């Protein structure tokens, strides 16, 4: 991709009052920092209120604080709002913001866009994003696989026994893997079945998954709601493809590997990403086709993240779509900044939301990122036990290519299992490529595990 002809600002940028935007999400830090690079003033709302998040914002509210005081909404009405991170709750607050705040300006007359392209909001198409049948149909049309998925209802009077492999329960209103669990109990009768498979209704059997002892004979208080979906588990490596969309077109920016950890009864908690990584040309072409079909049917404008899995046979399975700034967005941005493809990913996204052309994007660099540049590794650091955070202690042991992010106030006590901070590292790509060429390719996480352990041990002293 080459830099846009003029700037990353929307064509009619003066229509954004005070060059101010409202960002809301579970964690808005990376998006707020990127917006600040593009000279936006940020009114930020998130769950954690980390120090570097507050520093990137002109004004900041914690989610609970904002939602409990309706008067705060008046501070945001004049400015456009963007949801930049998953929210496991507060969905009504997001809807109120999107209805009350100013619309994003458009670089073209309204007639140039399909009707659904005007508000850059996923709420309008929420039923689409959450519809497994729609995503299954789109995936198959692009020669991509989609796991067998069953949609649950509240009106169940008969249990279902699931045969053939292991199954996941996935909550619709969750992010970061916090709503994904192994299916360990009989769930309500299903009303919809996708991917053309037939499942017979039989008597409920004893759970057979690895977590059966955790829930067998006991009610799971953290179980997803009855309107969750069941999805057949596929073994493989999970990836996230980041695309940018302008309502009529889309472009692939890059693909990252996703990293997960187990936290209590949650087996797939997001803990970071690394990339961008190379994929076969045929697969990236199919992902690009999927992105274009999504835009054609929804008029989506902004970032689009496609979560997919590559199994042991090299087959790609689409898992879900996330129409927002995602956890891997800053990894893609770091790589684009290094190659001078943008001066701010958020600025580029703002232009796309306003309908700017995507013709300047070079797809070759996104498809074959290994030709140049570094690999970037994002790791969320979770507390192994209760620790007191001290940035002063950590800075001397952090590598010069590591950036400490999402850090709390010094002296803050972090409970066991909670995130402490995030490390974003620049990794020499030759190091990763040499491992791949020798047939012993390993995740960069393994290579940099020593620095991670050193950081944890420092805090635990």
How far is 7 from 407, CA to CA, in rounded Å? 32
- What residue has token string 């006991």? 218
| Last-in-domain residue among 197, 232, 267 | 232
Contact 423, 378 (CB under 8 A): yes
Task: State pLDDT tens for residues 193-215.
Answer: 444 443 333 233 333 333 333 33
55 belongs to a structural domain: yes
| Last-in-domain residue among 105, 133, 162 | 105
How far is 402 from 109, CA to CA, in rounded Å? 45
Q: Looking at the structure, do residues 394 and 446 belong to the same domain, yes or no?
A: yes
Task: State pLDDT tens for residues 415-433.
Answer: 999 999 999 998 877 655 5
Q: Which of 375, 369, 390 is nearest to 444 (CA)?
A: 375
- Residues counted in the chain: 461
Considering all CA atoms of the chain, what is the largest pairwise distance in Å, rounded to the nearest integer? 65
Contact 382, 264 (CB under 8 A): no
398 belongs to a structural domain: yes
How far is 367 from 405, CA to CA, in rounded Å? 28
pLDDT of residue 3: 37
275 belongs to a structural domain: no
Contact 77, 102 (CB under 8 A): yes
Contact 229, 152 (CB under 8 A): yes
Q: Which of 52, 370, 447 is nearest to 60 (CA)?
A: 52
Alpha carbon of residue 279 to chain centroid: 19
34 belongs to a structural domain: yes
Taking CA atoms, 44 is separated from 3, 30, 73, 174, 254, in Å, by 28, 12, 12, 20, 27
Q: Report which secondary-structure segment, H or E, holds 267.
A: strand 266-275
Q: Looking at the structure, do residues 16 and 98 belong to the same domain, yes or no?
A: yes
pLDDT of residue 240: 96
Contact 308, 284 (CB under 8 A): no
How far is 215 from 381, CA to CA, in rounded Å? 28
pLDDT of residue 192: 45
Give 145's DSSP letter.
B
359 belongs to a structural domain: no
How far is 142 from 24, CA to CA, in rounded Å? 33
How far is 450 from 461, CA to CA, in rounded Å? 17
How far is 35 from 17, CA to CA, in rounded Å? 15
Structurally, the chain folds into a number of domains equal to: 3
Q: Which of 86, 405, 446 is nearest to 270 (CA)?
A: 86
| Last-in-domain residue among 49, 82, 105 | 105
Q: Which of 226, 216, 328 is nearest to 274 (CA)?
A: 328
What sign has the CA pseudo-torsion 207, 209, 211, 213? Answer: positive
pLDDT of residue 226: 53
Low-confidence ranges of the chain (pLDDT < 50): 1-14, 109-125, 154-159, 186-219, 221-222, 224, 434-441
Q: Looking at the structure, do residues 14 and 99 belong to the same domain, yes or no?
A: yes
Instruction: Tell me the two tokens of residue 220.
Output: 């799971």
Contact 251, 322 (CB under 8 A): no
- Domain around 204: 148-232
Q: Looking at the structure, do residues 15 and 85 belong to the same domain, yes or no?
A: yes
How far is 379 from 448, CA to CA, in rounded Å? 10
pLDDT of residue 54: 97
Residue environment code for 76-101, b if the CB has 16+ CB neighbours within 10 A, otherwise e: beebbbbbbbbbeebeebbeebbeeb
How far is 460 from 6, CA to CA, in rounded Å? 50
Neighbour-count burial of 230, counting CB atoms closer than 10 A to its CB (0-12 exposed, 13-18 middle, 19+ buried)? buried
For residue 430, the domain's CATH number is 3.90.600
pLDDT of residue 236: 93
126 belongs to a structural domain: no
42 belongs to a structural domain: yes
pLDDT of residue 163: 61
Secondary structure class of 167 (helix, strand, coil): strand
48 belongs to a structural domain: yes
Residue environment code for 25-44, b if the CB has 16+ CB neighbours within 10 A, otherwise e: bbbbbbbbbbbbbbebbbbb
How far is 375 from 426, CA to CA, in rounded Å? 6
Alpha carbon of residue 138 to chain centroid: 20
Instruction: Tell me the two tokens of residue 367.
Output: 């498809």
Q: Looking at the structure, do residues 160 and 94 belong to the same domain, yes or no?
A: no
- Strands 229-232 and 266-275 come out as unpaired
């Amino acid at each position: 991709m080459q830099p846009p002809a003029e700037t990353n600002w929307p064509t009619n940028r003066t229509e954004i009052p005070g060059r101010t935007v409202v960002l809301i999400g579970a964690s808005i830090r990376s998006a707020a920092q990127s917006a600040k690079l593009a000279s936006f003033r940020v009114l930020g709302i998130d769950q954690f209120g980390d120090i570097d998040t507050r520093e990137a914002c002109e004004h900041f509210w914690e989610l609970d604080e904002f939602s409990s005081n309706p008067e705060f909404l008046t501070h945001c009405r004049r400015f456009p709002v963007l949801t930049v991170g998953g929210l496991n709750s507060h969905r009504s607050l997001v809807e109120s913001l999107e209805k009350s705040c100013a619309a994003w300006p458009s670089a073209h007359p309204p007639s140039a866009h399909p009707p659904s392209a005007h508000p850059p909001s996923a709420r309008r198409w929420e039923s689409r994003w959450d519809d497994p049948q729609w995503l299954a149909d789109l995936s198959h049309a692009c020669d991509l696989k989609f796991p067998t998925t069953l949609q649950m209802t509240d009106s169940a009077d008969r249990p279902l026994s699931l045969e053939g492999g292991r199954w996941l329960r996935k909550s619709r209103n969750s992010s970061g893997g916090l709503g994904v669990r192994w299916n360990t109990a009989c769930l309500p009768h299903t009303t919809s079945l996708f991917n053309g498979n037939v499942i017979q209704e039989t008597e409920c059997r004893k759970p057979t998954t690895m977590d059966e002892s955790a829930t067998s004979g006991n009610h799971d208080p953290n179980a997803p709601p009855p309107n969750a979906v069941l999805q057949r588990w596929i073994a493989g490596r999970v990836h996230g493809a980041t695309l940018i969309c302008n309502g009529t077109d889309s472009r692939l920016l890059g693909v990252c590997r996703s990293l997960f950890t187990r936290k209590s009864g949650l087996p797939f908690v997001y803990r970071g990403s690394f990339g961008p990584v190379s994929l076969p040309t045929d697969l990236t072409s199919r992902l690009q086709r999927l992105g274009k079909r999504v835009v054609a049917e929804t008029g989506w404008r902004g970032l689009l993240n496609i979560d997919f899995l590559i199994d042991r046979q090299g087959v790609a399975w689409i898992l879900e779509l996330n129409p927002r700034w995602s956890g891997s967005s800053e990894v893609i941005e770091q790589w684009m900044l290094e190659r001078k493809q943008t001066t701010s990913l958020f600025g580029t996204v703002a232009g796309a939301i306003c309908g700017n052309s995507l013709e300047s994007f070079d797809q070759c660099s996104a498809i074959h990122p290994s030709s140049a540049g570094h690999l970037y590794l994002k790791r969320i650091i979770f507390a192994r036990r209760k620790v007191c955070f001290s940035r002063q202690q950590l800075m001397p042991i952090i590598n010069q290519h590591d950036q400490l992010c999402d850090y709390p106030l010094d002296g803050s006590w972090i409970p066991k299992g909670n995130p402490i901070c995030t490390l974003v590292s620049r990794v020499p790509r030759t190091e990763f490529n040499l491992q791949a060429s020798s047939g012993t390719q390993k995740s960069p996480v393994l290579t940099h595990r020593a620095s991670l352990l050193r950081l944890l041990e420092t805090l635990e002293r």
